[in-house]
Structure 1
C-alpha cells in the first residue's frame, strides 16, 4: 500500500520502521501515542535489527512496556514532509500484539499513551498508513 503524495522530482530519504497495533478486547479502541500529534508505538529500524526486536525496543523506549507480537498485518509506504522540511518515504511494517509488564520509565517523556476509540484515532493519527494498519488489525468477523 502507498499513502501520501509522492512528488515527482523530489528525492526522498528512505526510512524503514515497525509499528505496533494494540487493540482492546472488543477491537473498538487502539493505543495511540501522542506528543502533539498521534502515532502508533514503534519507530525506525537500526542497521541489522530484526522487526520484532526493534518493535520491542521502541515500545519500551516510548511507553515503558514490553510488547509481544501476535501477527504481521502488512507493510505500507508513507510519503511525507517532516516538520524539519525533509522529504521522507517511510516504509512501515505493522504488527498486532499486546503490551506486557512495565519495564522502565520511557525514554521519550513527552509521549502520552492513550486508549482511543478507532473513529477518534482516525482523526488524530498523523499518518494515513497508521489508520490503514489499525483498521487492518481488526480481525474479520465470521
Structure 2
C-alpha cells in the first residue's frame, strides 16, 4: 500500500535536519539525495539546492506555474540546474528563525506546480471568460488531466 500525502516528507525531513544542524551551530554536512516519488517525479537535493524535473509534466508550466512558484518561493526560486525544470536554493546564513514554513513549502513543490493549472482555470470561471474552457495536460502516456 502506498501512503499518499500532500507534501513530500523526504524533502521536509532532509531540510529540517540540515537547517536544525545549522541553528545548533553544528558543522554543515554535504548532502546529495536523488529520489523518485510515487508519481514518478525525480527530485535532486544537492547541498541545499532542491530541483524538480517534470519531464512531460513541464506542460503545467504553460498554465502559470512560473508565476505561482515565484509567489510561493520568492527569492528561493533560482534558475533551474541543468536537466531540471525547477530549482530552489536556500542560503544557510539567511534562514528565518522559524524554518517550518519554508521546509513545508519545499515539500509542496510538485503540488504547487499543479495548483497553477487549477488557479488559472478557476479564475477564468470566476471572470466568465469564454474560449478558455479547459486545460488538457497529457501527464503520461496513459494519463491525461482535464481541468
TM-score by length of 2: 0.24
Tell me which of the two structures has the higher relative contact order, counting C-alpha pairs closer than 8 angstroms and 6 or more residues apart.
1
